[in-house]
Structure 1
Amino acid sequence: MSFLTWRAIQDRLSIDSKVASLGISIEPGCYCCEGDITGNTRENIDHLFAYGGLAKKIWSFFVGPLSINYRNISFKLILLNSWNLKTSNPIAAFVSKIIPPIICWEIWKSRCSSKHEAIKPTIYVTKSNILFSTLQITRNKFTKARIGNSWSSLCRAMENAVNQKSAISVRWIKPPSMMAKLNSDGSSKDGQCGGGGLIRDNQGNFIFAYSFNLGQGTSNMAEASALLYGLKWCANNGINLVWGETDSLLLVKCIKREWKPPWKIAKEIQQIQNLVEENGFNISHWFREANKPADKLASFSHSTNGIQVFNSFSVVPRSVRGLINLDKWNLPSFRIRPVKPSLLVYDPP
C-alpha cells in the first residue's frame, strides 16, 4: 500500500495519461468511476485519486468526519492535509496517517478490476475493504481501545479527548539525625523575581525562613539567589550539616558541574560551589510538589520589598505554617503530569 502511494505521488503508475505520454495510442476513458467507463477525459493521477466520482465519495466518507479538507484539491494536497492533521487524540493521529495509503490501494484495485476484468467499481465494496483494513490495523496498535465494527464507532474513539495522566505520591523527606535541611525556591512574575526558603531540623521543626524581592530578573536568578542566601545563613550561624534541596534541576546540575551554568547566574553558582566545598553541604533536586513551603515563601516575595526574615514559627505566614506542618506529619502530595500519547489507550470514554 505504501509503495503504491509513493508511486502515485511520483506519478509512476501505468495510467492512461502516462501510457499516452510515451506515444502509445489509447482511447480516453475513466475506469475508476461508477457508471460508464468511457468518456472524453483521459484518466490521470488527480482524477483517479482525488477528483473522480469514486474518489470523492471515498474521501468524503472517511476523511470528512476528521475535518480534513479534500474538496477540489489535488491528490498530493489531500495526502498532506491528512498526514499533517493536528490532534491530541493518538487514535485520530494514527488513523490519519494510515488511511490514505489504504484508500489509494482500494481505489487502484477497483480501477484495475474495471479496466482489465470489466468489473464495475462499487462504492459499497470499496468502503467495506477500506474499513476492514483500517479497523484491523488500528486494533493491532491500540489493543486496549474500545473500538466497534463500524466507522462511526472508530470516529467516536477519535473524537474523544484521550488525556492520559500519571500521578505519583511525593513527600518531603526529613534529613538524617543531627542534620538540618534547607529548602529554597525562586519565583518570576511579569519580569519581577524573588526567592524564599526555610530551614528545618531532622524532626521537621522550624528553624529559620526568609523571603526577598530581587526586582527585575529571571526565574533561574531567583532560584540561585534563594539557595545561596540560605546556605550563607547556615554557614554564618554554625550549621554545617546541611542538606540543601531545590526543585530546579538546572541549578543542581550546574552546582555539581554536570552542566555549564547560564552566564547570568554564573557568579551565584560559583559562590554556592565554594560554600558547598568549604562546609561539606549536600545539594539535591526534588519535585516542586514536595517543596511547597519554599514555593509559598518565594511567591510572597512579590508583595514585599527587600528581605523579610522569620526567626520564629509563630510569625511565619499562616498558609506557610500549614504546609510546614503537613511536611512534618509526613503527609504526601501528588505529582500529576500528562503522559505523551502512546500506542496504548486505556478505555477511552
Structure 2
Amino acid sequence: MTWQKHLPFKMCFIVWRALRDKIPTDARISQMNIANPSRCICCKNPDTENVNHLFNAGDYAFQLWKHIGGPFGINVEQSFYRQILINWWKIKAPNPVINILVKCIPIATSWEIWRTRCAAKYGNEPINFNNSVCLISFSVLQVIKNQFNNFQGNHSWNKVIYLNSCNINFKKTFTVSWLKPPVNFVKLNSDGSCKEGRCGGGGVIRNHQGHLVHAYTVKAGAGTNNLAEALALLHGIRWCIAVEHK
C-alpha cells in the first residue's frame, strides 16, 4: 500500500522511510551522537521530535489527521502512525474513486506533514493548516482527474468530501470484437452449457472473409458445463480435420 503509482515517488518514499525510522528527525540524528536539541517545530509546546510524534502525536499532525480522517470515519485518538495508515487502507471502498481516495490521502497527508515541518524548520515558512489541507486535496484530486476523464470541479477539500459521500455508480465497459483469421485459414468458435443435468453445445466456423463455412450443434447428454464445452470444441476440430481446413 505504501507505493501508489499514481502519486509522485517522493510522497511514497517518505512514507516508506518513516515506517522504517529512516528520516532525519531530531531523535534519529541524536542516535548518531550528533548534538541536537530535540524540539518539534510543529507544536505549541515543543516535545521530542521522533517519527510517531512528528507524523501522529504532535499538535499539527494530530489536528491534520483528525480533520482529514473525520469524513472517512478514521479515529486518530490514541493511535500510532503505522496504525493510522492501516486504518485508512482497511477501508472497504464501494467504487474505484473512493478506492483511490483512501489509498492516496494518507500518503499525501504524510508528505504534507514532512514538507511543512522542513519548510518551517529550514525555510522559516509559517505553518498554515488551511494551506496544507488545500495541497493534500489538490494532490489527491489530481490523481482522480488523471484516472477519470469525466471528473469535473475544483480541487478543494469539499470536493473530496462530496466524492466520499455521493453514490457513484461506476461501470467499466470493454469493446470485444471478432478478428478474422489469416487467408486460407478458418476460425472455430464454440460453446457449451448444462442445465438440469442435460448438456449440449455448438459452434460456428468462418473463413478469412468472415463468411460462415459451417455451423453445428452437439447433444452431450448428462454431464457438466466443462464436458459440454469440451465436446462442442472437439466436434468442431474433428470437422475441420475431416474437410482438411486449417
Quickly name the TM-score band, shorter chain normalised. Answer: 0.5 to 0.7
**Paired amino acid for 1:9:** L
1:132-281 correspondence runs (5 A): 132-158=138-164, 159=166, 160-165=168-173, 185-188=191-194, 192=197, 194-195=199-200, 213-214=221-222, 217-225=223-231, 227=232, 251=233, 269=234, 273-279=237-243
**1-side partners of 2:95 and 2:60: how far apart?**
29
CA RMSD of aligned residues (A): 4.0
**Structure 2-normalised TM-score?**
0.65
Contact 1:184 1:195 in 2 (8 A): no
Decide which of 68, 73, 79 is 1:73's aligned counterpart. 79
Q: Identity, % of aligned pairs?
A: 31
**Paired amino acid for 1:38:** P
Aligned residues: 215
Alignment deviations for residues 209-241 of structure 1 (CA, whole Å, 9 cap, x no partner): 886641xx431202233x3xxxxxxxxxxxxxx
Report SS of the residue matched to 1:165.
Answer: coil
Structure 2 vs 1, CA of residues 219 and 137 (structure 1 numbering), >3 Å: closer, same or farther?
closer
State the Cα distance separating 1:272 from its structure 2 match: 5.5
Residue aligning to 2:33 = 23
Contact 2:198 2:220 in 1 (8 A): no
**2-side partners of 1:126 and 1:88: how far apart?**
27
Report SS of the residue matched to 1:12.
Answer: coil
**2-side partners of 1:128 and 1:22: how far apart?**
36
Residue aligning to 1:265 = none
Residue aligning to 2:182 = none
Larger Rg: 1
Contact 1:16 1:43 in 2 (8 A): yes
**Structure 1-normalised TM-score?**
0.49
Q: Which runs of 5+ in 2 are unaligned?
A: 1-9, 179-188, 205-215
Decide which of 22, 35, 39 is 1:12's aligned counterpart. 22
State the Cα distance separating 1:151 from its structure 2 match: 1.9
Q: Which runs of 5+ in 1 are unaligned?
A: 171-182, 200-207, 228-250, 252-268, 283-349
Contact 2:202 2:217 in 1 (8 A): yes
Residue aligning to 1:55 = 61
**2-side partners of 1:272 and 1:133: how far apart?**
55
State the Cα distance separating 1:145 from its structure 2 match: 0.9
**2-side partners of 1:209 and 1:141: how far apart?**
45
Structure 2 vs 1, CA of residues 116 and 209 (structure 1 numbering), >3 Å: closer, same or farther?
closer
State the Cα distance separating 1:54 from its structure 2 match: 2.0
Contact 1:31 1:111 in 2 (8 A): yes
Q: Which runs of 4+ in 1 moved over 6 A?
A: 167-170
**Paired amino acid for 2:138:** F
